[in-house]
Structures are given as C-alpha cells and as structure tokens.
Amino acid sequence: MKKRIISVFLVSSFVCGMCMGCGGTDNTQETEDPDDKPDKLVILMSSEGTGPMENAVAAFEEETGIEIELLSEAYDNMHNKIMTMVAGGSQLDIVSLDTVWPAEFANSELILPLDDYLDDDFGSQFVDIAWDQLRYDGKQYGIPTGNDAKWLYYNKEILEEAGYSEPPSTWDELTEMSLDMQEKGLVKYGLALGASQSEGLTCDFTSLLYGFGGQYRENDAEASGEWQLDSESAVAAVNWLKESLQNGVLDPASITYTDRNVMNTFMAGDVAFVTGWSSYWTTTNSEEESAVAGKVGMTMLPGSENAVSGSVAGGGGFAVVSTTASEKWAVEFLKLLCDPDVQKDFLSGVSQMPTLKDLYADEELVGEFPILEMAYPQYEFAHFRPILVQYQEWSTMVQEALHEVMANGAEPQDVMEELQQKVTSQITE
C-alpha cells in the first residue's frame, strides 16, 4: 500500500512537472531606456574587498546620485550566490568576475559584453594579461581590477646558510639546491605545492608546463588549434613532479594542500620554496603569523632550457549582469574602479595588485610598496588557463590525470597521452 502511494505520488509529480514545462519564466527583461538613471545599483563582491570599495561607492553616489547596495560574500561562495540570485530573478547589476569565469558566464548569457560602452583604446591602460583574460569570443566581458600570478617564494635565510646567494632560475636547479639543503639538514623538503585535487593544482601545472617550454594548444594566443597535452615538454613537466615526489624534493603532503594553506608549511619553515599568489608576500612577512617573517624572498617562477619562466595568470575584475536594467550606469561604475586612486586604495587596503600599467612605474608608490617592482617581471611570463565554457570539466580532467601520477604513481607518458585523448574528444570548443 505504502509503496503504491509513493509511486502514485512520483508519477503525479512527474506529470505536473511536464505541464509546468509550458509555464513562463520569471526573468522578464526590463524594456526601459537604458540611459535612464536607476535609483539603485546592486553589487555583489567578495568580502575581503569591501573596505576599499566603500570609498569608490561613496564617490559614485555623490557624483551620480545613484544609490549603491553593496552585498558581500566569502570568495568561495560568490559563484553560487551570483547564480541563484540571477536565476531567482533578484536585482543584481554588477558582480565580481574571477579569471576562469568569463567563458562560462558569457556562454550562459549571465553577463554582458561591454565593448559598446568602452573606447577602443580603453584596454591599453591595463597590464596585458589582466585585460585579455576577461575577454571571450572576441568581446570584453569584464573590467580588471586585480592582477595576479604565481611567484616563487623562498626562504632567504636557509638559502644563505646553504651558500646560495640567488634563487634558482630553472626547475632542475631548484631540485639540485633542494637536495643539497636537505642533505645539510636545513629543511625537511625543498618545495611545497598546493596540489590537492582542486583549482590550485591546475594553476601550478600551468606554471610548470610553460616553464618547461610547453603550451596548452597549438595556437595558444588565440586559444585555438590542437591540444598539446602530451607534448615532450608537458610530459617532462609531469615527470619532474613525479621525480620530485620520489627524491623528496617535493613535500609528499603537497597532494593534501590547497593553494591557500600550503603557505603555512612555508611559514613553519619546513620548506625552502613555495609557489604562491601575490598575497603570500604580505602574509608570510607578518610577524604575527609567520615564523619566517623578514626572511622571505619573492622572484619569478623557475624555467628550463626552453623557457625563461612560466607562471599562471590570476586575479579578476567586475562584470555587468545581463538582467540589469541600467547597463550604462553599471559600466560607469566599473570605469570608476579603473581610477588610479581606487586601485591604490585596494593595494594599501587589501594588498590587491593593481591592473593599471602606470602604477607599476609610479616611483612614489613603488617606494612604498616594493612588491610592485618585484612582481612586475613575472607578468610577461604569465599564461592563461584555457578560456573555455567547459573550463571546470577540463580543469577536473587535468587534476585527475595529475593525481593519477602523484597519488597512484602512474607513468606520466601514459597519463598525458590519455589526457590528450580525453580532452580532444570531450572538450568540444
């Protein structure tokens, strides 16, 4: 009896569901003139930046009389919050845009291209990688406000004790130095990576791949052409990972670290090297948090005989949501975020690296924030992760393949060949 009730219930709910298929949608587009001033713009951003953002908001409100409602969530929750708010039909005009979201968001028509509102040379004021990574399909989907890449952080004190005055410039050199320092009993391991099965691993792999002279696709600059995941350089990069685990250069716990908590291992002084984002500079040098404060060096990630260095681009910016009723004014607000003073606020407030080229040449600013000078050279060698609608799927395949090697000890050559096949057949862009 009970079973029958359940099945009847299920069937009837299926039927109802089908009937609802004809129902309309909640996302009715406003047909007002886009130039009309709205009463209010709603912005959703990740929590750490709200402080500096306040100034920009105040300036905008005063200038235009448009009220700004600033919503904030933890960075990890942004993606979900954006999607449910838009899908649920709430007013949302401007959202944070992470580096790897533009393709995915643009393809689901969640955000709008901004080209109509921007001058042709608007992009030239930004550091190239910052601007270009928010492009998709030939259109600009976001205004970059934060620039980032990965650098090599090293423990100066340990290096000096071991008799090295310079950080390594190739990955092989890093291996040599690490083994030497381990032998001398100065460190437990040479390098720690945030190599758990998550986005951080894809980032580190990108750095290694380009550092070993490889690239993701045949025509990398235009994000087209055959995949090159089983190239000699790609296999060499994975081989280096595997060997480093075997000879003890790489902390075996790396496969449990994310790109956020791997910093702790470095701050504990257990390893001489760590790869990290720009924010590591401030944290690892804080007396309160770090046992290695003041001993930290920051330099470009190593390369190989085939490449000077290879790094991965990060950062992000802001985009305009497609359901907004006031495109024009939303873009106006985004333009305000490109103001040098606003970017300085973000730099001093939350150590967010600016996207404007000029700021890196601003002597006064560089004097105050030496990280600008140390960071800049790496941008030239920073590369994008592939700009794909199916990015998450792609990234998961890469992470799975690398874990086959790092956790299960599979052969790099086989794994990368399989990955190449899988990506070629399943990523259909």
Partner 1 sequence: MKKSFAKKNIRKLLLILGSCVFLAWTLLPLIWMFISSISSTSHLLDMSASWFPDEPTWERYKDIMFSETILNKGTIVSSPAAVFKRALFNSIIVSGITTAVSLVVGSMAAYAFARLAFKFRDQLLMLILFFQLLPSISLLIPLYIMFRKMGVIDHLICLVLVYVSFTLTYTIWVMSGYFRSISRDLEAAAMVDGCSRFGAYVRVIIPVAKPGLTAVGILAFLMAWDEFMYSLIFMNSQSNKTITVALSEFTSKFGIDYGMMMAAGCIATVIPVFISIAFQKNITQGLTMGAIKE
Partner 2 sequence: MKNKRRLMTKEARLGIFMISPALIIIIGLMLYPLLYTVYLTLVDYNVFTGINKGFVGVQEYVEVFSDPKFWNAIKVTMYFVAGSLLLQTIAGFAVATFLNIPFRGQRILRAVMLAPWAVPTVVNAQLWNWILNASYGALNKLLLGIGVIEDPIVWLGDPKLALNVIIVADTWKMLPLFVVMLLAGMSSIPPSHYEAAKLEGASFWQSFCKITFPLLKPMLLVVLIMRTAQAIRVFDIVYVLTQGGPSNSTMTISYYTYYQTFSALDFGYGSTLAMVVTLITLGIAIIYKKLLNADNIY
Which of 22, 26, 364, 408 forms a contact with partner 1 (CB under 8 A)? 26
Of 46-54, 259-267, 272-280, 359-367, the window that binds partner 2 (rule: CB under 8 A) is: 259-267
Residues within window 301-340 making contact with partner 1, judged by CB under 8 A: none
- Residue 70 site contact among partner 2, partner 1, none (CB < 5 to 8 Å, cut-off depends on kind): partner 1
Residues 6+ apart with CB under 8 A from 112: 141, 319, 320, 321, 322, 324, 327
- Identify which of residues 76 and 364 has a Cβ nearer to partner 1 in the complex: 76
Residues within window 369-398 making contact with partner 2, judged by CB under 8 A: 390, 392-393, 396
- Residue 228 site contact among partner 2, partner 1, none (CB < 5 to 8 Å, cut-off depends on kind): none
Which of 11, 291, 361, 407 forms a contact with partner 1 (CB under 8 A)? 291
Which of 400, 414, 418, 429 forms a contact with partner 2 (CB under 8 A)? 400
Of 120-128, 207-215, 225-233, 290-298, the window that binds partner 1 (rule: CB under 8 A) is: 290-298
Q: Does 290 bind partner 2 (CB under 8 A)?
A: no
- Identify which of residues 27 and 224 has a Cβ nearer to partner 2 in the complex: 27
Which of 178, 206, 244, 399 forms a contact with partner 2 (CB under 8 A)? 399
Q: Does 65 bind partner 2 (CB under 8 A)?
A: no
Beta-strand relationship, 217-219 and 135-136: unpaired
Q: Does 251 bind partner 2 (CB under 8 A)?
A: yes
Which of 4, 17, 33, 222 forms a contact with partner 2 (CB under 8 A)? 17
Q: Does 87 bind partner 2 (CB under 8 A)?
A: yes
Q: Does 404 bind partner 2 (CB under 8 A)?
A: yes
Residue 344 Cβ, how far from partner 1 at the closest point, in Å? 18
Tokens of 423: 């990506």
- Residue 86 site contact among partner 1, partner 2, none (CB < 5 to 8 Å, cut-off depends on kind): partner 2
3-state secondary structure the chain: CHHHHHHHHHHHHHHHHHHHCCCCCCCCCCCCCCCCCCCEEEEEEEHHHHHHHHHHHHHHHHHHCCEEEEEEECHHHHHHHHHHHHHCCCCCCEEEEECCCHHHHHHCCCECCCHHHCCCCHHHHECHHHHHCCEECCEECCEEEEEEECEEEEEHHHHHHCCCCCCCCEHHHHHHHHHHHHHCCCCCEEEECCCCCCHHHHHHHHHHHHHCCCCCEEECCCCEEEECCCCHHHHHHHHHHHHHHHCCCECHHHHHCCCCCHHHHHHCCCEEEEEECCHHHHHHCCCCCCCCCCCEEEECCCECCCCCCCEEEEEEEEEEECCCCCHHHHHHHHHHCCCHHHHHHHHHHHCCECCEHHHHHCHHHHHHCCHHHHHHHHHCCEECCCCCCCHHHHHHHHHHHHHHHHCCCCCHHHHHHHHHHHHHHHCCC
- Number of residues forming the site for partner 2 (CB under 8 A): 49
- Identify which of residues 40 and 116 has a Cβ nearer to partner 1 in the complex: 40
Residue 53 Cβ, how far from partner 1 at the closest point, in Å? 8
Tokens of 219: 């025509």
Residues that bind partner 1 (CB under 8 A): 1-2, 5-6, 9, 26, 46-48, 50-51, 54, 67, 69-77, 80-81, 84-85, 87-90, 260-261, 263-264, 267-268, 277, 279, 283, 287-291, 293, 350-351
Residues that bind partner 2 (CB under 8 A): 6, 13-14, 16-18, 20-21, 24-27, 79-80, 83, 86-87, 104, 108-110, 188, 196-198, 251-253, 255-256, 258, 261, 264-265, 268, 270, 322-323, 390, 392-393, 396, 399-400, 403-404, 406-408
